[in-house]
A and B are shown apart, each in its own frame.
Chain A
Amino acid sequence: MVLIASSESASRRAVGVVGDEPMETSMACRRYASLGAGVALLALLASCASITPPQPWEKGELAKPAMQFDPDPLVAKGTQHIYQSKEGAAGGYGVGGGGCGCN
């Protein structure tokens, strides 16, 4: 939006607000600016596809106790069991291999 505002004011300053012409120019500028912003956003989203998951030997941070959803392993097991039996849900609780990142 900053892009659009600056291009608009720039075109107004350059041409001077006289008749229809400056309006058309500023609208064209606005269109190009919004197009540019859209392309930039798409490029940013596309770059997210190149984010790779950590390798098995890089999972040191994930193995820390602070990275678990529940600090008490017994309570965590109980919660997981309840979700599994009532909802058929499984997984997604953090690093595999009992928290050591061994998978």
Chain B
Amino acid sequence: MRALLVRLLGGLALCSIALDVAAVGVGQVAPAFTLPNGAGESLVLNDLRGQVVYVDFWASWCGPCKRSFPWMNELQQKYGGKGLVIIAINVDKKREDAQRFLSTTPAQFRIVYDVAGLTPAAFEVKGMPSSYLIDAQGRVVAAEQGFREEQKAAVEERIRALLAAR
């Protein structure tokens, strides 16, 4: 009986270790970053305190990114005036790959480049693409891995709520 109990507890303990904590924890302050855009200017995340920021990690080789860009264009258009800033961080090793992607899939939001890959490491990105919704106080409120059609409505709902609350 006791042996069974010990085995049960051991199994439960193992289960808790196996639970995946997705990326940077929700509720934590988003890691600060300063990244260059295509025009040589630097974008500092902390400068955007007070606005709702949607950070998306993308790459030219990432299929779902092709579908997420038009949706993010829509979001930026709809809510840009209300305080939403979308930042898409490119992690391609070669700038030309990113530019080729952008020539076929244009973006109306800010694109910054991180070749070294320090920013995705700081955000503990677990898969590509990854997106993080940061509220006006700089805290991560949602972390999504991948891009699926089903999550679009929910994310838009959260953005609207955050914009109303700031």
Which residues of chain A have a CB within 8 Å of any CB of chain B?
A: 55-60, 63-64, 97-103
Q: Chain A residue with minimal CB distance to B147?
A: A102
Whether B30 sits at the interface, judged by CB under 8 Å, is no
Contact A64 B128 (CB under 8 A): no
Q: Looking at chain A's contact residues, is the secondary structure mostly helix, strand, loop, or mixed?
A: loop
Give chain B's interface residue range (CB within 8 Å of chain A): 20 to 34
Cβ of B146 to closest chain A Cβ, rounded Å: 6
Q: List 25 A-B pairs, Cβ < 8 Å.
A: A55-B125, A56-B120, A56-B125, A56-B127, A56-B128, A57-B91, A57-B120, A57-B125, A57-B128, A58-B91, A60-B59, A60-B60, A60-B93, A60-B97, A63-B62, A64-B61, A97-B128, A99-B63, A100-B61, A100-B62, A101-B128, A102-B62, A102-B64, A102-B128, A102-B129
A55 cross-chain contacts in B, Cβ below 8 A = 117, 120-121, 125
A63 cross-chain contacts in B, Cβ below 8 A = 61-62
Q: In whole angstroms, what is the CA distance A46 to B67 when docked?
A: 44
Q: In whole angstroms, what is the CA distance A103 to B121 when docked?
A: 15
Q: Chain A residue with minimal CB distance to B93?
A: A60
Cβ of B63 to closest chain A Cβ, rounded Å: 4
How would residues 95 to 126 of chain B score, 1 for a CB under 8 Å from any chain A CB and 0 otherwise? 00100000000000000000001001100011
**Residues of chain B from 7 to 63 with CB closer than 8 A to chain A in the complex:** 57, 59-63
Whether B92 sits at the interface, judged by CB under 8 Å, is yes
Contact A101 B117 (CB under 8 A): no
A100 cross-chain contacts in B, Cβ below 8 A = 61-64, 128
Given contacts A100-B61, A100-B63, 6 further A-B pairs with CB under 8 A are: A55-B120, A57-B117, A60-B59, A97-B128, A102-B127, A102-B128
Q: Chain A residue with minimal CB distance to B91?
A: A57
B60 cross-chain contacts in A, Cβ below 8 A = 60
Q: In whole angstroms, what is the CA distance A58 to B114 when docked?
A: 12
B126 cross-chain contacts in A, Cβ below 8 A = 56
B125 cross-chain contacts in A, Cβ below 8 A = 55-57
